Structure 1
Amino acid sequence: MRTGRLKLSGVAASYHCMTRTVNGEHLFKNREKEVLRKMIWQVADFCGVEVLTYCIMSNHFHVLLRVDDRQQVSDAELLRRYQVLYPKPTKYQTASVILMRKTLLSGGEDADVIRRQLRARMGDVSQFMKALKQRFSVWYNRSHRRYGTLWAERFKSVLVEGKGNPLQTMAAYIDLNPVRAGLVEDPKDYRFCGYAEAVAGVAEAESGLLRIWSDHAAKQIDAALQAHRMLIFGKHAARAGVSDISRERALKVLEQEEGVLPKAAVLRCRVRYFSDGAILGSAEFVRGFSKTWQAERRRKYPPKVNAMKGADWGDLSVIQGLRRQVFS
């Protein structure tokens, strides 16, 4: 399938982005995950995108972003964001900032060139992913005396309806990655995901969770955490347990018995809708972007809107029905 993103302009949009290491090699231990975690927040600040949640695994990472490409960025903010990328600047980088500030203050054509170059890297999920992956690759290769490409592909992305059930379900799916991999029973115990950072009281992660649950009257972080936990664990949330339906049992019910399971149980399976579905949201939302998707891919016929199967997904639909197995 095509990687990258469905390109929209003039609107705020949410995207689930995922990328893997070359050959799926398990290259990231705690140190690497910690560096990548910091870079996610750092590059998001520079690009002016909002991280709603994320999860870093040993051979891939997920990030759920809210992007508004209608940003008006002042010269002072451009300089601040540029400096965010260099928390420990070299003499050359410090001199570059001083020169940039003088040029912007003086105005003229040179100042306009700087503004265009910096603004072109902001408010765009593709630019965010490009900058993040490049910066991490440079650090990783230098740290490990390694050469060559680190990532297997550009990245996959799914356009997600930016409120309600679609956004909340996607966020829960991302946060449950370490549970799905058998690393922890509770994502709050996995330090490299957005939910764990929100539980720990990290302001940026709390802000993302509040955005995810903004339509749920969750104006305070405690309410947002409770709502998210209820989605992750279903009726078991009150006693902080995990679903009593194993992943193996869930897959058997879904694939062999063609049954329907509670959403909390199915989210513990790998569901390809969330990485390969192209557009995810209510049927109306998906239908609204179908012509954009069709034009971008130069398809002769418009795509169908497909209701998601296998669980009580509510009103969730995708633009690609997925011919191969949906669950794996």
Structure 2
Amino acid sequence: MAGGVIGWHNRRQGRKGTLWEKRFKSVLVESGQALVTMATYIDLNPVRAGLVEAPKEYRWCGYAAAVAGKKHARSGLRTAMTTWAHGEIGEGASMEKYRELLFGTGEQRNPGANGQRVKRGISKKRVEEVMAKKGKLTRWEMLRCRVRYFCDGAVMGTKDFVNGIFEHEGHRFGPKRQTGARPMRHVEAHGLTTLRDLRLKPVG
């Protein structure tokens, strides 16, 4: 699939070569809130990159596939939302709730444009202000930034989950490291932690 997407993109943009030049990274993600947070972050990648105005407009996005009625995408979304809700949730309800998580309060009415909806973004200035004051970005603001925790955090989930992984894999970190879970700095993480303590520009 990657070859087809890259070829299509290169032909459209008149370019050559790969799209991703850095080495592949993966993060072990706990089900429930961590999984849904990671999914929304990934689905918002093309929005952050300025490729589209909304995730559903990006044809290779999981949310777009679900909106288009693809059974595997809808099933996967429902499974993720069921673990997030700690109980069975219908397909329609899971789509609706996931969309709320994607957009949060991210749409506002623009009275000067016949009530047209506009997407509210987050500026670099806002991020820098929050960092300078050692404050925290809201979940919605965080998802519209590049967040290193989602690619460099190694493991993401509740404190118990991350500590459990550390108990099995702690030898990889050396003898000085005694504990596993680390808080996610500068964001309202709602109980989520990561295995790596990212100090250098965790959000940008």
For the aligned pair, the TM-score class normalised by the smaller chain equals 0.7 to 0.9
Kindly indicate whether the alpha-carbon contact (under 8 Å) linking 1:280 and 1:317 is maintained by their aligned counterparts in 2: yes
Residues 243, 294 of structure 1: alpha-carbon distance in 2 compared, 3 angstrom cutoff: farther
Query: Partner letter of residue 70 of structure 2?
Result: V
C-alpha distance in 2 between matches for 1:200 and 1:247:
31
Instruction: Show structure 1 runs of 4+ deviating over 6 A.
Output: 237-240
1:299 pairs with 2:174:
yes
User: What's the counterpart of residue 184 of structure 1?
Assistant: 52
The residue correspondences of 1:115-130 to structure 2 (distance < 5 A) are: none
Residues 268, 312 of structure 1: alpha-carbon distance in 2 compared, 3 angstrom cutoff: same
User: What's the counterpart of residue 222 of structure 1?
Assistant: 92
Deviations, residues 243-292 of structure 1 (Å, cap 9, x unaligned): 53423244223323332232111111000001000110011111111122
Kindly indicate whether the alpha-carbon contact (under 8 Å) linking 1:270 and 1:327 is maintained by their aligned counterparts in 2: yes
Query: Partner letter of residue 156 of structure 1?
Result: K
Query: Partner letter of residue 299 of structure 1?
Result: G
Kindly indicate whether the alpha-carbon contact (under 8 Å) linking 1:218 and 1:224 is maintained by their aligned counterparts in 2: no
Residues 289, 218 of structure 1: alpha-carbon distance in 2 compared, 3 angstrom cutoff: same
C-alpha distance in 2 between matches for 1:156 and 1:183:
23
The residue correspondences of 1:84-233 to structure 2 (distance < 5 A) are: 152-153=22-23, 155-162=24-31, 164-215=32-83, 216=85, 217=87, 219-233=89-103
Query: Partner letter of residue 278 of structure 1?
Result: A
User: What's the counterpart of residue 43 of structure 1?
Assistant: none
Shift of 1:237: 6.2
C-alpha distance in 2 between matches for 1:241 and 1:218:
32
> What's the TM-score, normalizing by structure 2?
0.79
Query: Partner letter of residue 228 of structure 1?
Result: Y
CA RMSD of aligned residues (A): 2.9
Deviations, residues 130-160 of structure 1 (Å, cap 9, x unaligned): xxxxxxxxxxxxxxxxxxxxx643x211111
Shift of 1:316: 0.4
Which of structures 1 and 2 has the bigger CA Rg? Answer: 1
User: What's the counterpart of residue 59 of structure 1?
Assistant: 19
C-alpha distance in 1 between matches for 2:165 and 2:45:
28
Aligned residues: 187
User: What's the counterpart of residue 17 of structure 1?
Assistant: none
> What's the TM-score, normalizing by structure 1?
0.51
Residues 324, 298 of structure 1: alpha-carbon distance in 2 compared, 3 angstrom cutoff: closer
Residues 242, 165 of structure 1: alpha-carbon distance in 2 compared, 3 angstrom cutoff: farther
Kindly indicate whether the alpha-carbon contact (under 8 Å) linking 1:233 and 1:242 is maintained by their aligned counterparts in 2: no
User: What's the counterpart of residue 48 of structure 1?
Assistant: none
SS of 2:157 mapped into structure 1? strand
Query: Partner letter of residue 28 of structure 1?
Result: I
Kindly indicate whether the alpha-carbon contact (under 8 Å) linking 2:40 and 2:102 is maintained by their aligned counterparts in 1: yes
User: What's the counterpart of residue 127 of structure 2?
Assistant: 251
Residues 278, 228 of structure 1: alpha-carbon distance in 2 compared, 3 angstrom cutoff: same
Kindly indicate whether the alpha-carbon contact (under 8 Å) linking 1:190 and 1:196 is maintained by their aligned counterparts in 2: yes
C-alpha distance in 1 between matches for 2:142 and 2:173:
34
Q: Which stretches in structure 2 are left out of the alignment for 5+ residues?
A: 11-17, 110-115
User: What's the counterpart of residue 134 of structure 1?
Assistant: none
Residues 267, 29 of structure 1: alpha-carbon distance in 2 compared, 3 angstrom cutoff: farther
Residues 59, 178 of structure 1: alpha-carbon distance in 2 compared, 3 angstrom cutoff: same
C-alpha distance in 1 between matches for 2:118 and 2:159:
31
SS of 1:280 mapped into structure 2? strand
